[in-house]
Amino acid sequence: MVPREGLEPSRDCSHAILSRARMPVPPPGQAKKRVYYIRFMFCDEVTVQFNAGRGGNGCVGFRREKFVPYGGPNGGDAGKGGSLYLMADENVNTLSEFNSHKKFKAPSGENGQGELCGGLDGADLVLKVPVGTMIYDESKKNLLCDLNRHGDRFLVARGGRGGFGNAHFKSSTRQAPNFAEFGEPGEERICVLELKLVADVGIIGLPSVGKSTLISRISNARPKIAAYHFTTLIPNLGLVNLKEFGGDIHQSFVACDLPGLIEGAHEGKGLGIQFLKHVARNRILVHLLDINSDAQKEVSKGEENLYDFRRDGRGD
């Protein structure tokens, strides 16, 4: 196997893993295709700063034309700053984009112009996040929004208001105002984004009981499979098409392969809370057992960890 260099792990990112990718089939007579392992990152929690755009400044202007030496004020209003939104998108699976880019800023509004020309508004910046993203404040004590459906949007920072030009302030008693407004600054906010994957069926169990093998057989997921514990370091999502198993062509569901469950996971042992939080939003949990071990003991350990995790208030 030929290793291929990729992204390096980061402190804020939960895991860096190796994903297997197959290269195109070569023409006959050439060497067989090689299997590459490409390094990429799965990120389910990150802290990001959001800055909305500043409003533009109003214009101070007066009408000056031939034979009109003392025309009235004609300074235009400025445009407002762009706002910043977060939108849930089912085609996004990780927060790794926010791990490499910690600060986002929306465009500012343009200044007003003479001849009553207004400035353009700053364009809103819409950032896509995975479905199941929870948005907290900087202290992570207050939940601001839970984007748990495709297309949900949240206004994370509002753009500043644009200033008025001097034409806005003219009146019968003030016919030539020589001042205008400055634009207001946009909102700034630091948020913690936490991802809880949403799936129909979650597959749990002790390490090396065949969870990754099962999801690779029933779905289009291709996780790494090996004969040692904790081969799966991140949740793997796969779409199960029931047509292949005798169902209707339109029947399908999403399955999630979760890392191995060990005793004391709710206290942070093993991969701990990093993956237990993804269990909370699965509609059905399938507990996979090893027939060569004490099945009752495995079930007891799994139920105890899930119960303790929910009791601590982290599985809601």
Phi, psi dihedral angles at 310 (to 5 degrees): -70, -35
Query: Which of 191-195, 227-231, 273-277 shows the lowest per-residue confidence on average (mean pLDDT)?
Result: 273-277
133/286 Cα distance (integer angstroms): 23
Residue found by looking up tokens 């099945």 in the block: 295
What confidence category does residue 265 fall into, taking pLDDT thresholds of 50, 70 and 90? very low
- CA distances to 72, 88, 141 from 137, rounded to whole Å, are 49, 18, 7
Q: Are 215 and 236 within 8 A, CB to CB? A: yes
pLDDT for the residue 51: 95
What confidence category does residue 93 fall into, taking pLDDT thresholds of 50, 70 and 90? confident
Phi, psi dihedral angles at 245 (to 5 degrees): -115, 25
Domain boundaries 45-195, CATH class? mainly beta
Please give the structure tokens belonging to residue 12.
């804020």
Q: Are 118 and 79 within 8 A, CB to CB? A: yes
Please give the structure tokens belonging to residue 216.
């690779």
78/97 Cα distance (integer angstroms): 33
| pLDDT tens for each residue of 215-232 | 888 887 777 777 666 666
Asked if pLDDT for residue 2 goes beyond 70, the answer is: no
Query: Which of 57-61, 113-117, 252-256 shows the lowest per-residue confidence on average (mean pLDDT)?
Result: 252-256
What confidence category does residue 203 fall into, taking pLDDT thresholds of 50, 70 and 90? confident
The beta strand positions in 29-130, using DSSP E, are 35-42, 45-51, 84-89, 103-105, 125-130
How many Cβ atoms sit within 10 Å of the Cβ of residue 98?
A: 23
Residue found by looking up tokens 């023409």 in the block: 27
Say which residue, 290 or 145, is predicted with more confidence.
145
pLDDT for the residue 124: 94
Quote the mean pLDDT of the chain. 76
Asked if pLDDT for residue 191 goes beyond 70, the answer is: yes
Region 163-172 average pLDDT = 91
Domain 198-311 = CATH 3.30.830.10 = no
Please give the structure tokens belonging to residue 120.
């353009």
- CA distances to 34, 70, 118, 166, 305 from 22, rounded to whole Å, are 7, 76, 55, 65, 37
Say which residue, 95 or 58, is predicted with more confidence.
58
Q: Are 167 and 180 within 8 A, CB to CB? A: no
Asked if pLDDT for residue 243 goes beyond 60, the answer is: yes
CA dihedral of 261, 265, 268, 274, whole degrees rounded to 10 = 40
Region 38-60 average pLDDT = 81
pLDDT for the residue 68: 79
What confidence category does residue 71 fall into, taking pLDDT thresholds of 50, 70 and 90? confident
Which helix (H) or strand (E) segment holds residue 240: the answer is strand 236-241
What confidence category does residue 158 fall into, taking pLDDT thresholds of 50, 70 and 90? very high
Asked if pLDDT for residue 4 goes beyond 60, the answer is: no
Q: Where are the domains of the chain?
A: 1-42, 45-195, 198-311
Q: Is pTM beyond 0.75 here? A: no
199/151 Cα distance (integer angstroms): 17
CA 301, 302, 307, 312 dihedral sign is: positive
By DSSP bridging, strand 15-22 and strand 35-42 are antiparallel
CA 281, 283, 287, 288 dihedral sign is: negative
